[in-house]
Structure 1
Amino acid sequence: MAATIVGMLAVTITFLCGVWAVLYGVLLFFDVSPASSIAAGLTALTVVSIGYLEYRQIDTIERLADADCVDEATEPELYELVTRVAAQLDVPVPTVALSDRQTPEALAVGFRPHNVHLVLSRGTLNTIDERAELEAVIAHELSHVKNRDAMVMTALSLPVILARGLGTRLADIEKPGAAVVAIVPLGLLSTLVWGTGKAMTARLSRAREQAADRAAVAVTGSPTVLATALTKLDQSISETPNRDLREASGISSLSILPLEPDELEKVMLGPDGNREPSYWGLRKRLNRFERWLFRTHPPTNERIEQLAAYERQQERRSPS
């Protein structure tokens, strides 16, 4: 984590200095003064704009999850379970939001522990039919709250968010004209920062998922229960149509398991549907490389193996 924080600070400083330098150069080219102050102001405005978007994170995520808040009167058993797990982890009881989607989704969103929403889908509640297993899933998500993962990951993702936002806006410019002198270097800079930052945060995210698994085991006392829940959710995701997974892709990195198909979807071409897409072999390899580089969760089988190792450790420590 320390190495990632230092690395992301370096990436952030490089990005902001790069944006300032490009804007400064363009302003000098057009003989606008004071160029340095205006460039600094535009750079600061970008940061403030992204900060506002992050402040609205909860509403955005719940909209992507198509979830609505429910109260204790509506879901008394679920609230009782969430309240008990929150007490065990010594975190504030989150607001519970439910989605009617059948895609298995479970995530905790919120920058501060006192403003966290636990988002679950009906698909998760239908898949996890055992109370102990649902408790383990909730414990995993609230462990992220205990560990301040949302705050850490959001802060560390700042350069990635900035770079993606800048790149998207640059790509939307249809007739750049003379502004191309700024668009090209800014586009290259945003792409480089986005790729570097996303790879670094993905590596840290994988570590935080494993930490949340360990914390959930400490709460429930049974690695097997969490492993069973992950197995059921993974199987349900593999059976979910790719169309439904694409709809949930906006929250994939935040959910307990990634909501993505294992392989790139192959759509045959031609009048008879018998022609393979161009460069299909290369596209599959690139997709696998991208998934490996930007994977936000450890492979589910590795998590289950790690939980099995915890179970064996518990058995060795327990009195015969």
Structure 2
Amino acid sequence: MVAAVLGLAVVTLGLLAGVWAVFYGVLSFLGFALASHVASVTTAGTLVTIGYLEYRHLETIERLADAHPVDRETAPELYETTTRVAAQLGVPVPTIAVSERDAPEALAVGFRPESVHLVLSLGTINALEGQAELEAVIAHELAHVRNRDAMIMTAVSLPVVLADGLGSRINRIENPGWAAIVTVPLGFLSAGVQIVGRTITARLSRVRERAADRAAAEVTGSPAALASALRRLDREIADTPTRDLRDASGVSSLSIISLEPSEPEKIMLGPEGDTEPSYWALRKRLHRLERYLFETHPPTDERLDALAALERER
């Protein structure tokens, strides 16, 4: 975690220095007086504006567009289990919402423990068997709340958010004209920062997932129950249509288990639709590389092995 935070600090400084250098170079070429001061103000204004716009966009996750709140009367078992687990972990009882999606989603969203929403999809609720598995999944998500993972990951993802916002706005410019002397280097800079930053934050996210697994196993007293729940949800993902997974991809990094398909969707070619694309082998390798670099969850098998080790210790 220390190495990841230090690495992201370096990436953030690199982004700031890169944006400043682009503006300074252009202003100096155009003969502006006090080019360094103007570049500093322009850099700060650009990144602050992008950061504000991007984090306002992230708040839409908390609006629970595909979920509806439930309470003690409409979902008594779910409410009581959540209340009990929250008390064991020492966190406020979250607002509980149920999503209609079939994809196995389970996530806690909200920057502060007092404003957290626990979202469970019907796909998750229907896939789990028994009270122990449901309790283990809820404990994992509320462990993230106790560990303030939403706040931590939001803070450390600053360079990625800024670079992504910068890149997306540059890509919207269809005919940059003379502005290309600014947009082109900024585009390359944002792409590089995104790759490095996402790689580091993904590794930090995997650490936080393992910590939440351990906390859930401790509070429920049953690592085996969490392992069983993860195994069922993993099988559920394998059986979920790729289209449904794409719909849920926006919350994949927040869910208890990655909702990304293990293999890219294959689109067959030819008149009969039976010809494999010539680039398919390369596409598969690139997909595996992308998962290796940017996957936010440890492989399920590794998580199951760690929980099995905890069970043996008990």
- Alpha-carbon shift at residue 61 of structure 1 (Å): 4.8
TM-score normalised according to structure 1 size:
0.93
- One-letter code aligned to 1:132: A
1:318 — aligned with what? none
- Separation in structure 2 between the aligned mates of residue 80 and residue 203 of structure 1, nearest angstrom: 34
* Counterpart contact for 2:54–2:165, Cα < 8 Å: no
- The yes-or-no answer on 1:17 pairing with 2:17 is yes
Contact persistence 1:160–1:197 (CA under 8 A):
yes
Identify the residue that residue 259 of structure 2 maps to in structure 1. Answer: 259
Quote how far apart the aligned CAs of 1:48 are: 4.3
**SS of 1:68 mapped into structure 2:** strand
Q: Residues of 2 paired with 1:55 and 1:214: CA distance? A: 32
Corresponding residue for residue 195 of structure 1: 195
Q: 1:33 to 1:85 in 2, by over 3 A?
A: farther
Alignment of 1:134-213 (within 5 A): 134-213=134-213
Aligned to 1:317: none
Alpha-carbon distance, 1:62 to partner: 4.1
2:260 maps to amino acid: E
**Residue identity opposite 2:19 in structure 1:** V
Question: 17-26 or 129-138, which moves further after superposition?
Answer: 17-26
* 1:82 positional shift: 1.1
Equivalent residue runs for 1:259-278 within 5 Å: 259-278=259-278
Flag the 1:42–1:80 CA change in 2: closer, same or farther, 3 A: farther
Describe the superposition over 1:254-298 as per-residue Cα deviations: whole angstroms up to 9, x where unpaired.
100010111111111111212221321111111111111111111
Structure 2 CA distance for partners of 1:29 and 1:60, relative to 1, 3 Å: farther
Q: Is the 8 A contact 1:62 1:119 kept in 2?
A: no
**Alpha carbons 1:61, 1:251 under 8 Å: kept:** no
Amino acid at match of 1:60: I
2:50–2:166 contact (8 Å) kept in structure 1 = no
SS at structure 1 position matched to 2:61 = helix
Question: Which residue identity does 2:61 align to in structure 1?
Answer: T
Deviations 1:285-315 (A, max 9, x none): 111111111111111111111111111111x
AA matched with 1:54: Y
**Where in structure 1 are there 5+ consecutive unaligned residues?**
315-320
Which residue number in structure 2 is paired with residue 59 of structure 1?
Answer: 60
Query: Deviation at 1:59?
Result: 2.9
Classify the secondary structure of the residue corresponding to 2:107: strand
Name the counterpart of 1:305.
305
- Provide the residue aligned with 1:93 in structure 2: 93
CA 1:212–1:247: 2 relative to 1, 3 Å: same
CA shift, 1:33, in A, is: 4.9
Answer whether contact 1:223 1:311 (CA < 8 A) is retained: yes
Distance 1:72 1:56 in 2: 31
| Residues 43-122 of structure 1 aligned to structure 2 (within 5 Å) | 43-45=43-45, 46-51=47-52, 53-54=54-55, 57-63=58-64, 66-122=66-122
Cα shift readout 1:34-92 (whole Å, capped 9, x = no counterpart):
543443333333224424542563433545x6223333333232222111111101111
Structure 2 Cα separation of the partners of residues 60 and 305 of structure 1:
32
Alpha-carbon offset, residue 32 of structure 1: 4.3
Query: 1:5-56 CA distances to partner (integer Å, 9 max, x unpaired)?
Result: 1110111011012112212222333344554344333333322442454256
Change (3 A) 1:29 1:61: farther
Distance 1:77 1:42 in 2: 54
Cα distance in 2, alignment partners of residues 7 and 175 from structure 1: 35
The alignment status of 1:285 with 2:285, answered yes or no, reads yes
